[in-house]
Each structure stands twice: as C-alpha cells, then as structure tokens.
C-alpha cells in the first residue's frame, strides 16, 4: 500500500543547531517533492520544491535532498532559531495528481 | 504578493445543515483544490478542479460534497448535510500549472459541526 512517513512526530533541538527532518515514501513515483511549513491553525506555506532529477536544493538556511532510490527526502534547517518552530510537512506531487501529504514533524527550537 | 483567500475564517453549524465554504484563488491560476485537516491529523486531499470540472476526487469527497466555480474568481465547496465528523479545517489551494510547481494554500476555514 502507499505510505508517506516522516521520521518523528516531534523533534526538539537547541537554537543554533541543524535540524534534520526525514520523509520516506513507499509505492509512489513522485515527479516532485515539496516541503511546507504549517503553524497552528494556519494553512501550509510552501518552502522548497525538488524534482526527481535533482539531488539537492537550497534556499537560505534550508536544504532539501531527494533520493529516489532510497525513496527518501531530507530537510535541513541550519542555524535554527526559535522562530523556526512549526510543523513541517512533506508532500508528494504524483505527476500532476493531487498532493499527498505526510503526517508532519513538529519541530521545537529551544532557546 | 498574490495570495489565496478564504471565507469565512470560522463557521459553526448544526448537524444536517448545509454549508458553503468560499475561496478566491490566485487570479492567473487554473487548477484548484480543496483539502481538509481534522484536528491533530494530516492534511487530506478532497478534490481537484480544472476547466470547470472535477479532475480528481478522494474517497472522502462523497455525494454530500460538491464544488463550483460560479464566476471568474470564486471557488466554492458545499457540504449538503453536515455530519459531526466534517468538523475540520478546510484549505483551498491553487496553482498555475498541473505539475511542476507548488500549490498555494489559503488560510483555511475552521468548520465546527455541533
């Protein structure tokens, strides 16, 4: 059956450290994978998109990797700040069909 | 920067009543979506809409649900006879192309069915 998993429901890290979040999927062949940030009671906000033929994408303190062999994406936030505390969602874009979201990882950056 | 807007932000209704949730997608976008998120759970796809017709729908989107684009700007989700389990955040999203770029999400409508 098709499944998307994110490594942990919650992740606590110290300010200044690098947060690494994992997204694993089975029985999908996504053309694109995206990461979103969601704050409580708000809609998902787009962060980064990575294509199946790209290994890595960066945007400021954010980095995403995409390994279609391992069926895994890693999302890194370097020099994390308390303002980065939120739930981070990975979403698969299955060749123009709807997005399929993972359950999210709630990140808390402690001062 | 253009954004997706949704109204109302909150809706409280009695079980069995009809509700209409409204969305104004980004103006040059062609593909429209509704998602829902039950409290504490993941974002779930409901329906996608293109060229004035449904292009895909999930198992959640049963006969109680319908979507419409009544004019050039609004995109609505109607629930004909609400159930308690319809209580959730409902998000509208839009994008310019079918694939290869992100969907932009609205702020959501929190629906509470009593």
* Mean pLDDT in consecutive groups of 10 residues from the start of chain B, 114 residues: 92 97 93 94 93 91 94 92 97 84 92 97
Q: Are A1 and A98 in contact (CB under 8 A)?
A: no
Pairing of the two strands B19-24 and B75-79: antiparallel
Which residues of chain A carry a pLDDT beneath 70? 94-97
Position A32 scores a pLDDT of 87
DSSP A60: T
Position A52 scores a pLDDT of 87
Alpha-carbon distance A56 to A44, whole Å?
A: 22
Put simply, the answer to whether B107 touches A43 (Cβ < 8 Å) is yes
Q: B13-51 burial string, b = 16+ CB within 10 Å, else e?
A: beeeeebebbbbbbeebebbbbbbbeeeebbbbbbbbee
Position A27 scores a pLDDT of 87
Average pLDDT, chain A: 92
Residues of B in contact with A51 (CB under 8 A): 100
Position A9 scores a pLDDT of 81
Please give the backbone phi and psi of residue A2, each rounded to the nearest 5 degrees, phi first.
Answer: -80, 140
Put simply, the answer to whether A99 touches B56 (Cβ < 8 Å) is no
Position B83 scores a pLDDT of 96
Place of tokens 């969602």: A89
Within 33-92 of B, beta carbons closer than 8 Å to A belong to 33, 35, 41-45, 48, 56, 58, 89, 91
CA distance A45 to chain B (A): 7
Alpha-carbon distance B28 to A64, whole Å?
A: 28
Question: DSSP H helical segments within B19-113, as ranges?
Answer: none
Q: Are A92 and A28 in contact (CB under 8 A)?
A: yes
Alpha-carbon distance B101 to B106, whole Å?
A: 16
Put simply, the answer to whether A101 touches B42 (Cβ < 8 Å) is yes
Torsion of CA B92, B97, B100, B106, to 10 degrees: -20
Put simply, the answer to whether A99 touches B45 (Cβ < 8 Å) is yes
Residues of A in contact with B48 (CB under 8 A): 97-98
Position A103 scores a pLDDT of 94
CA distance B17 to chain A (A): 24
Position B107 scores a pLDDT of 95
């Amino acid at each position: 059956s098709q499944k998307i998993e994110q490594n942990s429901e919650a992740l606590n890290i110290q300010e200044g450290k690098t947060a690494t979040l994992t997204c694993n999927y089975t029985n999908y062949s996504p053309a694109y994978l995206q990461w979103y940030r969601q704050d409580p009671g708000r809609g998902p906000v787009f962060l980064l998109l990575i294509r199946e033929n790209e290994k890595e994408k960066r945007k400021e303190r954010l980095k995403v990797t995409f390994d279609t062999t391992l069926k895994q994406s890693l999302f890194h936030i370097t020099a994390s700040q308390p303002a980065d505390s939120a739930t981070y969602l990975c979403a698969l874009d299955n060749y123009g069909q709807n997005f399929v979201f993972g359950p999210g990882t709630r990140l808390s950056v402690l001062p | 920067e253009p954004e997706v807007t949704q109204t109302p932000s909150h809706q409280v209704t009695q079980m069995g009543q009809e509700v209409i949730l409204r969305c104004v997608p980004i103006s040059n976008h062609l593909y429209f979506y509704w998602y829902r998120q039950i409290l504490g759970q993941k974002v779930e796809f409901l329906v996608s809409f293109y060229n004035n017709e449904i292009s895909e729908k999930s198992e959640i989107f049963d006969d109680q649900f319908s979507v419409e684009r009544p004019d050039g700007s609004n995109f609505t989700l109607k629930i004909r006879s609400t159930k308690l389990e319809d209580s959730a955040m409902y998000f509208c999203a839009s994008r310019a192309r079918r694939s290869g770029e992100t969907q932009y999400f609205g702020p959501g409508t929190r629906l509470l069915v009593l």
